[in-house]
Chains A and B, each alone.
Chain A
Amino acid sequence: MRDQLFRTRITDLLGIRHPILCGGLGPGVSTGRYVAAVINAGGMGFVVSTAYEAPDQFELELKVCRDLIGNKPVGVNLYISRFAGGVERVLHLLPLLEKYGVTCVETAGASPEPVIPALKEMGITVLHKIPSVRYLHTAERVGADAVIVVGAECGGHPGVDQVGTIVQAAHAPQVSSLPVVAAGGFGTGRQLVAALAMGNDAILMGSRMLVSEELWIHEDYKRKVVEGRGYESVVVKKLLRDHHRVLHNESAQTVLELEAQGIVDFEAYRPYVGGDVTRAAYRSGDVTKGMIDYGHAVVFADEIQPVEKIFDRILDDAENALHRLHTVQLARAGEIA
């Protein structure tokens, strides 16, 4: 693990060495082994809590993770469904978080308000993920400890506003009373330095990490990510107001065609967007089918490597960027006549 390069409110809040977070990847992709690798590299990862095939899989993953990280802090991704029973499902998981000493969660989806009191009581730090600066006040009001702001370039769910990270990452810290984690499009150390320069306290990555050796997804897909140029994605399900940035494969094309026909019945989409189809794709490596989360940052994922190696590269790049900045001499304001 590299020495600490930056100390921020987020490294202090989460008890981690580097201000680098790796978001929960679904369905069931961010398992215990991967999250442990992120934590052991000095960052923070989040074990996904939903969309496993077996009901006890989540607990198993927490156990695997805990065994690999010793007593280090650990995170869980809590997706809160907007549909009936979403909150109850999350509340039902909380005893497991207690049992395995989970220290922080990233919440996404519906407002975390109904689950925050219970989390607070357990002493768990809440990072609420929002796709647009306009949701900031919700995160502040409900008592989140930090906010993760994802830009339009993120794989998965970038929200409906489609504002790029370069603007949101400059805007959010300016107006937020909470520490901000910038997300969407990150994959290099110079971007990490840029995010910190703009007043953010950390970055969060997803797509960049798809080439991690510790992820169980098929090697063929990881190789495809290595070859990817970043702009092979498309945003689908706009018609359902459930914007989803995914690899532009056969399923995505079919979904686009259904949208073009104005179909809003979810049942028509289910065969193409279901978690089972996506899981099968990750398992077989044939990603022509399924909703494969895919952001622009895959362009930085140029080699299949262990998580720690990826972190080392990012930190080395950040160090170079800092050296470069050190040599930048901007004439001080007022010096010009």
Chain B
Amino acid sequence: MSDLTMRNLFGVEYPIMQSGFRFLARAPFVAAVSNAGALGTLSAHTLPTGTALRQEIRATRKLTDRPFAVNLTLLPENVAEFPYDDYVDVIISEGIPVVETSGARPASYIEKLKRGGVKVIHKCTSVRHALSAAKYGADAVCVTGFESAGHPGEDDVPTLVLVPRVVDEVRIPVIASGGFADGRGLAAALSFGAIGINMGTRFLLTQEALFHEDSKRALIEFGERDTTLIARNLGDSVRVLKTTATREVLALEARGASREEILPLIDKERWYNALLSGRIDEAPIPVGAALGLISDVPDCKTLVQRIVAQANVVLDRLAAARAALSPA
């Protein structure tokens, strides 16, 4: 357990971080999150080159003078090739204060970023990967339980168990992720001993997220029972909304369809286009179980203020409940 807070580690007002999801985590949106007092996070591998990332960082800076992070999702070369070394050079030379790494073999990137004066949060889904990240020199870990949108890992350990476990096992600060959407969740994460929360689905459903309003309106109608895991047989599970397209994928999987048959149906372009067009039924959309806690589309500032206010109420209530029992 560490005394560090998200404020003194990363210079943010509130202990809340936004997931650096692909395609959507771009300049105006990220700036809106940071301007709200949370930690906005740009997605590096949304941009094709280091130069494009540099432009995106500068565009973000024009919109906010608050700190923001860059997400560096490390995919194996057989999946996709990205100019990771260029990204890292740009991140360092642009003076980005903190990077969130995720994915395979982060050691060399963590080392290089640290040498460049950049703080590193490594995002992972298990105790063993959190321990490795600490060994590689990460400043913090962001741990994601199986409630999370996208890739929650293959161990299926829920946030309620995983976060306290990681807090016990690692000596670096822990940010909790997977299933968080409100101030009660933030208070719960702080109770676990985490220094804050990371939210994906909740930030996705804000005014500033850049995709079709019809998609947002449709998404908030769904609840916590409306997500499922797909692609488990491919060894890389993805939590998605149960849409018509998702049901097709599940049916294919039940028939034992091959990787080649399934991959095109769950491709990132497909869900991104579905979000953009407002026709979410056309793809498996990555969203988390936090959907059950979401029923509106506020702007980022309203959202962050609401979460902090709610967490404060909860913390005050706990303090009061305790005080009522102690002799004066």
Contacts and interface: CB of A to CB of B under 8 A. Distances in A.
B226 to A, nearest CB: 10
A334 interface: yes
A7 B306 CA distance: 27
Interface string A151-170: 11100000001011111111
Most buried by A among B161, B185, B315: B161
Interface stretch (A33-41, A54-62, A82-90, A318-326): A318-326
Contacts of A133: 224, 292
B321 to A, nearest CB: 6
B321 A153 contact: no
A6 B155 contact: no
Nearest to B184: A198
Interface stretch (A189-197, A212-220, A276-284): A189-197
Nearest to B165: A299
Contacts of B15: 330
Contact of A185 (B161, B189, B224, B325): B161
A230 interface: yes
Interface residues of B, number: 53
A333 B305 contact: yes
Contacts of B146: 164
B70 interface: no
For the side of the interface on A, what is the size category?
A: 35 or more
Interface stretch (B99-107, B112-120, B174-182): B174-182
Contact of A167 (B161, B189, B289, B315): B289
Contacts of A161: 224-225
A163 B292 contact: yes
A6 B225 contact: no
A236 B189 CA distance: 31
Interface in A280-310: 296-297, 299-300
B309 A333 contact: yes
B188 A198 contact: yes
A332 interface: yes
Contacts of B187: 194, 197-198, 325
B276 interface: no
Contacts of B159: 164, 166
A164 B192 contact: no
B312 interface: yes
Contacts of A322: 318-319, 322
A322 B158 CA distance: 23
A4 B325 contact: yes
Chain B contact residues, majority secondary structure:
helix
Most buried by B among A4, A133, A331: A331
Contact of B185 (A3, A166, A230): A166
A190 B163 CA distance: 11
Contacts of A313: none
A164 B146 CA distance: 8
A328 B190 contact: yes
A46 interface: no
A190 B325 contact: no
Given A164-B179, A193-B318, A297 B191 contact: no
B250 interface: no
Interface in A163-202: 163-171, 174, 184-188, 190-191, 193-199
A133 B324 CA distance: 31
Contacts of B308: 330-333
B175 to A, nearest CB: 14
Nearest to A317: B164
Contacts of A166: 145, 147, 158-160, 178-180, 185, 188
A330 B306 CA distance: 12
Contact of A194 (B155, B188, B293, B306): B188
A330 B158 contact: no
Interface string B288-301: 01101100000000
Contacts of B282: none
8 contacts: A3-B325, A132-B225, A151-B160, A153-B157, A170-B184, A197-B184, A197-B317, A199-B184
10 tightest CB-CB pairs across the interface, nearest first? A194-B188, A194-B191, A333-B309, A166-B179, A197-B187, A164-B158, A193-B191, A198-B184, A185-B160, A166-B159
